[in-house]
């Protein structure tokens, strides 16, 4: 799940022009740490060099192998895909690549109607202040996560999407209101109903927590291949991590800490810092008090929703904003933090991935500086079961994943559909003992009808080895791969997944098919 040594696409031309040999590793895992450095006054500290930093893992100093500063010019660009093609390069055609990108996630799943209106007003105030160099995207989380507006610096266009968004109260929020009303009534009949409703709410809250974490993971995978410093601003009321009930009739507990941990890991893999912004409003149901141990039907024990918000922010090097009326300024601070960010990366000296938590500590040679960065990570090894689950999730993912850049071109030929993929293979390469370079990846094509019904699936593995000279050309020019599959007229979309094997990153996108195409 953590990054292998990966030759970043932007670095390849520099390597080739210097006529240095391409280097690949097969086992080392790269740990990347984004560090926000500010003075006591909050002003950004700029001009620091790699030598000014030290990074430690579990108390042992690590060698910094990669370093960049937010003020470093971004020269990497992406050419737009040709007409008729589809791509998962979310900033294709943007030149130069923006140094800072911000995604605002409007959480309609975990926010009630009244607070949604407050959130919209504050998001709109922030958008009116964006600068020409800003790149902001708007996402919304409801029954699933979807994109309201992709990256743009056009405030008017972004504001139009916010204004047109229709607030919808989730089932979970409606049930919360009903539970409040029953608790306030206080009669025996209401209390009996409340027993059942609270249990149902616990199940719904668990589903809400799981859906939210999966949405955060999907967004992280979509942002993996996006250049620049990445900030995800989560405008929300959060979700309970753990709920325990003890009544005269029943006792049960639902815990979603593992889902939160996995979301943190996926966000860190994508180098995305999460900033959770609490929308003042619905804070919990009556009786949900952390101090309670034994409760009547109107009382329960809950680890509050703020815990998930705080831990997701801390775990990814972001911030947690709570009890603030100026939500728009909190969003602005999240975007501004990226302008004083330094990126450090190292290969852990401890290569034993046993699932344990490893603490990260960063020190800087700058008097009075305050540092903000993720505090550690779980050293979890990939497993075949986890990889299989990842593919299933990716098929259902409404967003694209961008770790591997992929362009897709489709052409019907009778009852067949010819698919040509253009892949940037830098993250698919592994060195062999004889000095050659091995490329091994899988290509999954999944055709669906207009209603989402599966029609046909093709799953192929590509595995070949070439000399370093040819590998250099592939890295520079890209890799083309073509295959055909049966496709009847009912096919309306193709989900494409390219995955490094056996445990590499993946890229995905959905290409629409017009009737008769």
Maximum CA extent, the chain? 81
Tally of CA atoms within 13 A in the half-sphere of 312 that contains its CB: 37
Return the pLDDT at 160: 92
* CATH number of the CATH domain containing 406: 2.60.40.2550
Q: According to the model, what pLDDT value does residue 361 have?
A: 96
Beta bridge partners of 459: 444
Residues 274 and 396 both lie in one domain:
no
If one counts the domains in the chain, the total is 3
Please tell me whether residues 109 and 85 are part of one structural domain.
Answer: no
The reply to whether 506 falls in a domain is: yes
Q: Do 133 and 245 fall into the same domain?
A: yes
| Nearest of 344, 313, 87, 281 to residue 216 by alpha carbon | 313
Q: Which residues pair with 422 in a beta bridge?
A: 407, 480
**What pLDDT is stored for residue 467 in this prediction?**
93
The CA distances from residue 160 to 128, 235, 372, 501, in Å, are 11, 18, 34, 43
Tell me: do 262 and 128 sit in the same domain.
yes
Helix (H) or strand (E) run with residue 274 in it: strand 272-278
Q: Are residues 145 and 267 in the same domain?
A: yes
pLDDT for position 64: 92
pTM above 0.75, yes or no: no
- Interatomic CA distance for residues 481 and 306, integer angstroms: 47
Q: Give domain status of residue 177, yes or no.
A: no
- Domain-located, residue 189: no
Tokens for 65? 């192998």
Task: Give pLDDT tens digits along the chain (517 positions).
Answer: 333 333 333 333 322 222 333 444 444 577 888 898 888 767 788 889 999 999 999 999 999 988 888 643 333 334 445 556 899 886 644 445 556 789 999 999 998 888 888 888 889 988 988 877 788 999 999 888 999 998 888 999 999 999 888 877 777 777 766 766 665 665 555 555 666 666 676 777 788 889 999 999 999 999 988 876 789 999 998 887 765 555 545 555 677 888 888 999 899 888 899 999 988 643 333 333 323 222 333 334 445 677 888 889 989 989 888 876 677 777 777 777 766 788 888 889 998 888 888 999 999 998 888 898 988 888 877 667 777 777 888 888 888 888 889 999 999 888 899 999 999 988 888 888 888 999 999 999 999 998 889 999 999 999 999 999 999 899 888 899 999 999 988 999 999 999 988 777 889 999 998 765 5
Strand-by-strand arrangement of the 242-246 sheet: 251-255, 242-246, 301-303
Asked whether residue 262 falls in the same domain as residue 411, the answer is no
The pLDDT assigned to 235 comes to 92
129 and 257 share one domain: yes
In a domain, 191, yes or no: no
Burial 413-432 (b: 16+ CB within 10 A, else e): eeeebebebbbbbbbbbbbe
3-state DSSP of 442-496: EEEEEEECCCCCEEEEEEEEEEEEECHHHHHHHHHHCEEEEEEEECCCCCCEEEE
Q: Are residues 152 and 130 in the same domain?
A: yes
Q: Residue 107: which CATH number?
A: 3.40.50.410
List the end-to-end C-alpha distance of the chain, in Å, as a whole number.
37
Q: Is 437 helix (H, G, I), strand (E, B) or coil?
A: strand
Tell me: do 161 and 235 sit in the same domain: yes
44 and 109, same domain (yes or no) = no
Is residue 185 in a domain? no
Give 3-state DSSP helix, strand, coil % of the chain, rounded to 5.
30, 35, 35
Q: Which domain holds residue 471?
A: 386-512
- Is 417 a domain residue? yes
Residues 350 and 334 in one domain: no
Closest among 40, 393, 41, 43 to 216, alpha carbons compared: 393
Q: Is residue 350 domain-shared with residue 412, that is, in the same domain? A: no
Q: Decide if 105 is inside a domain.
A: yes
Give pLDDT, residue 328. 75
Asked if the structure places residue 184 within a domain, the reply is no
Is the omega angle on the peptide bond into residue 96 within 30 degrees of 0, that is, cis?
A: yes
């Amino acid at each position: 799940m953590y990054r292998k040594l990966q030759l970043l696409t932007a670095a390849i031309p520099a390597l080739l022009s210097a006529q240095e040999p391409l280097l690949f590793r097969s086992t080392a895992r790269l740990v990347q740490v984004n560090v926000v450095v500010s003075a006591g006054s909050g002003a950004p500290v700029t001009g620091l060099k790699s030598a000014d930093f030290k990074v430690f893992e579990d108390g042992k100093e690590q060698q910094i192998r990669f370093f960049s500063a937010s003020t470093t010019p971004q020269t990497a660009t992406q050419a737009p895909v040709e007409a008729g093609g589809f791509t998962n390069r979310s900033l294709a055609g943007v030149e130069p690549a923006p140094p800072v990108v911000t995604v605002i996630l409007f959480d309609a799943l975990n926010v009630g109607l009244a607070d949604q209106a407050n959130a919209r007003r504050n998001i709109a105030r922030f958008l009116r202040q964006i600068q020409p160099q800003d790149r902001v995207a708007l996402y919304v989380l409801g029954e699933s996560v979807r994109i309201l507006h992709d990256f743009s610096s056009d405030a008017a266009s972004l504001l139009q999407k916010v204004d047109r968004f229709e607030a919808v109260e989730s089932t979970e929020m409606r049930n919360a209101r009903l539970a409040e009303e029953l608790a306030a009534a206080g009669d025996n009949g209401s209390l009996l109903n409340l027993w059942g409703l609270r249990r149902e709410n616990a199940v719904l809250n668990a589903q809400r927590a799981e859906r939210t974490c999966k949405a955060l993971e999907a967004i992280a995978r979509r942002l993996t291949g996006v250049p620049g410093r990445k900030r995800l601003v989560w405008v929300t009321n959060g979700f309970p991590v753990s709920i325990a009930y003890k009544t005269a009739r029943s006792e049960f507990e639902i815990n979603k800490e593992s889902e939160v941990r996995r979301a943190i890991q996926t966000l860190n893999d994508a180098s995305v810092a999460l900033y959770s912004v609490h929308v003042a409003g619905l804070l919990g149901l009556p009786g949900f008090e952390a101090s309670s141990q034994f409760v009547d039907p109107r009382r329960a024990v809950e680890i509050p929703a703020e815990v998930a918000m705080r831990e997701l922010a801390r775990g990814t090097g972001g911030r947690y904003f709570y009890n603030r009326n100026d939500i728009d300024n909190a969003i602005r601070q999240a975007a501004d933090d990226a302008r004083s960010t330094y990126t450090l990366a190292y290969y852990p000296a401890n290569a034993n991935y046993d699932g344990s938590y490893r603490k990260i500590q960063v020190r800087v040679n700058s008097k009075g500086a305050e540092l903000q960065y993720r505090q550690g990570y779980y050293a979890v090894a990939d497993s075949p079961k986890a990889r299989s689950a990842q593919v299933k999730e990716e098929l259902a993912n409404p967003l694209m994943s961008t770790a591997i850049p992929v362009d897709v071109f489709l052409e019907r030929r009778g009852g067949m559909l010819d698919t040509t993929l253009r892949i940037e293979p830098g993250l698919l390469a592994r060195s062999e003992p004889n000095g050659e370079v091995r490329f091994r990846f899988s290509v999954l094509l999944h055709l669906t009808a207009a209603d989402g019904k599966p029609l046909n699936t093709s799953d192929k593995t590509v595995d070949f080895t070439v000399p370093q000279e040819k590998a250099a050309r592939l890295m520079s020019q890209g890799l083309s791969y073509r295959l055909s599959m049966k496709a009847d007229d009912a096919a309306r979309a193709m989900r494409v997944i390219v995955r490094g094997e056996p445990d590499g990153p993946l890229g995905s996108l959905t290409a629409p098919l017009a009737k008769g195409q």
